[in-house]
Amino acid sequence: VHLVESGGGVVQPGRSLRISCEGSGFTFSNYGLHWVRQAPGKGLEWLALIWADGTSTFYLESLKGRFAISRDDYKNTLYLQMNNLRAEDTAVYYCATRSGGCPEDWGQGTLVTVAS
């Protein structure tokens, strides 16, 4: 299992950003996928989950309406659309596979910095 996040960078408060996670070495469409973030010097925070068949999505309550998880199994890619970004969204964002519960295999992460 190999997951590679991309799309991070510096973005101004209030702007949007879409980050991606490309998977390889496994049958991407068979797996549910998580997004998890870690603010600098802080702990892990679960953000969102999409089922393997893409029919259901789940979010951290406080992010509903601002973040959206999606997947394109033809491209073996997971996405996280982040809107109206705030300084407190600054973090390393990780994607991870879900086999039965909590995240299993993780990518290396992509850093998103929200600053003016």
Partner 1 sequence: QSALTQPASVSASPGQSITIPCSGSSDDVGGYSHVSWYQQYPGRAPKLIIYEVYKRPSGASTRFSGSKSGSTASLTISGLQAEDEADYYCCSFAGRSTSVSLYVFGTGTKVTVL
16 or 56: CB nearest partner 1: 56
Q: How far is the CB of 106 from partner 1 (least distance, A)?
A: 4
CB nearer partner 1, residue 61 or residue 74:
61
> Is the Cβ of residue 23 or residue 107 nearer to partner 1 in the bound state?
107
Which amino acid type is present at position 78?
Answer: L
Q: Which residues does residue 22 pair with via DSSP β-bridges, in sequence order? A: 4, 77
Nearest to 17 by CA among 68, 51, 62, 73: 68
Q: How far is the CB of 21 from partner 1 (least distance, A)?
A: 12
Cβ distance to partner 1 smaller for residue 11 or 49 = 49
Side chain identity, residue 77: T
Residue 109: CB minimum distance to partner 1, A = 6
Cα–Cα distance measured from residue 58 to residue 36, given in angstroms and rounded to the nearest whole number:
12
Q: How far is the CB of 104 from partner 1 (least distance, A)?
A: 6
Instruction: Catalog residues that contact partner 1 under the rule CB under 8 A.
Output: 34, 36, 43-46, 49, 56, 58, 60-62, 94, 100-109
Contact (Cβ atoms closer than 8 angstroms) between residue 112 and residue 19:
yes
Cα–Cα distance, 58 to 113 (Å, whole number): 24
